[in-house]
Structure 1
Amino acid sequence: MTLQLRVYVPPHPLIQHWLAVARDQGTPSMLFRSAMTELGRWLTYEAIRDWLPTLDAQVQTPLAACPATFINPEVPVAVIPILRAGLSMLDGAQSLLPLASIYHIGLARNEETLEPSWYLNKLPERFDPNTRVLIPEPMLATGGTSMTVMAELVKRGVNPEWVRFISVVVSPTALQKLSAEYASLKIFTAAIDERLNDYGFIVPGLGDAGDRTFGTE
């Protein structure tokens, strides 16, 4: 069977509501941060549905014994926000994965070449190949940053099959690049937007997620 990258756009009304809040240019920074936190929470909820490993067990209720299912604590889970915009979705994701390890990475995009460069890399030298990796990245635009991150993760032992991106908006350009190289990858997003403009920004998009989150320009 040929693998093909899968992109999920959950039809959840809360996701669509917070997407609308985030898109609106009149949304103040404080409310924008709330929208990104909520999008991080609900997209993570969708992304981990068939991703977290479980254990079958039995518990004793006050009335009787019954079957039970627990999250398997022996399988490592990592959340890797891409600085700085990825931090805007971290609280929402971490609220559902409180035991996950958090690894920070930072890449800056050259606004002329649109190519990313590393300025922070706190990844471990080697990951357990069974590690589940969740990457909060509000926008997958040109695909340059996400491709760079994936190459680094694979080099350190991560299986792309266990990687999930959560993004608020994505472009067809980024999806095409990722699909060509990482067919087993899964992406959960609130919207697939139309195109990129000449500056590599997603249209209609939501502007610069980092600036809007942290109140900078």
Structure 2
Amino acid sequence: MLVYVPPHPLVKHWLAIARNAATPSALFRSACAELGRVLIYEAVREFLPTVEATVDTPVGTADVEFCDPTKPIKVVPILRAGLILLEQAGTVLPISETYHVGYVRDEETLQATAYLNKLPQRLSPEDRILVTDPMLATGGTMLKVLADLVARGADPSNIRVVCIVAAPPALKAMADLYTGLRVYSAIIDAELNEKGYIIPGLGDAGDRAYGNQN
């Protein structure tokens, strides 16, 4: 499994804003959206299928390439926090389809339970899939989503995971099961606390994005 942390100053800038506990909800959400845009841009490099064509310019004819309109990227945000990574995605992905999944985590057992699943019944190994979730801590939720995608026919080598902060337990669990998977993260933090939160992390992304700072 490949884990890529882009060495980009804008990634560092927006991550610093997202980490700051004093950042208000609106700015936190904007920072996550900007991180999503940069990380998605990196994730789809050499991943988007293209078609060759010609177009008439004002003074001649040019050979061009377009993103293939018949092969949209399938985007799977894990609700609710996964949505904030997609607020700027439209500026990166010209053609996409979105399928929402929702999970809630038991704060005592740290086990995730699905409450929403809008995935298509069948997927093709050729489908290119982008899964977004700001935090990869224990990896429990992400592993359930990946297992569901693979069970429906997806090829792990055609799945990209985009997050803001990742931790070793999640990355190890994912690498053990999905060798062809790729993960794009703004940073990898070293540890989890007893509640399963990434340290130093950035807290509960969903709560912070939607106004609950507790």
The TM-score by the shorter chain falls in which range?
A: over 0.9
- The answer (yes or no) to whether the contact 1:143–1:173 under 8 Å persists in 2 is yes
Q: For each residue in 1:81-117, what CA deviation from the matched residue of structure 2 results, as whole angstroms up to 9, or x when unmatched?
A: 0001101112122332243111110011111111111
- The answer (yes or no) to whether the contact 1:76–1:128 under 8 Å persists in 2 is no
Normalised by the size of structure 2, how large is the TM-score? 0.96
Normalised by the size of structure 1, how large is the TM-score? 0.95
2:25 equivalent to 1:29: yes
Query: Once structures 1 and 2 are overlaid, which stretch shifts more, 151-160 or 58-67?
Result: 58-67
2:160 equivalent to 1:173: no
Query: Once structures 1 and 2 are overlaid, which stretch shifts more, 86-95 or 173-182?
Result: 86-95
2:101 equivalent to 1:105: yes
The aligned residue for residue 145 of structure 1 is: 141
- The answer (yes or no) to whether the contact 1:105–1:123 under 8 Å persists in 2 is yes
Provide the aligned length of Structure 1 versus Structure 2.
213
Q: For each residue in 1:105-138, what CA deviation from the matched residue of structure 2 results, as whole angstroms up to 9, or x when unmatched?
A: 0011111111111100011101233211111110
Match of 1:76 among 72, 78, 84: 72
Q: Secondary structure at the match of 1:56?
A: strand
2:111 equivalent to 1:120: no
Amino acid at match of 2:104: A
2:20 equivalent to 1:9: no
- The answer (yes or no) to whether the contact 2:67–2:95 under 8 Å persists in 1 is no
> 2:154 & 2:90 partners in 1: Cα distance?
20
Match of 2:208 among 190, 212, 217: 212
The aligned residue for residue 130 of structure 1 is: 126
CA distance 1:98–1:68, shift in 2 (3 Å): closer
> 1:34 & 1:59 partners in 2: Cα distance?
36
* Contiguous gaps of at least 5 residues in structure 2: none
> 1:157 & 1:76 partners in 2: Cα distance?
17
Q: Secondary structure at the match of 1:178?
A: helix
* Contiguous gaps of at least 5 residues in structure 1: none
Q: Please, what is the CA RMSD of the aligned residues?
A: 1.1
The aligned residue for residue 184 of structure 2 is: 188
Query: Residue 7 of structure 1: CA displacement?
Result: 0.6
- The answer (yes or no) to whether the contact 1:132–1:163 under 8 Å persists in 2 is yes
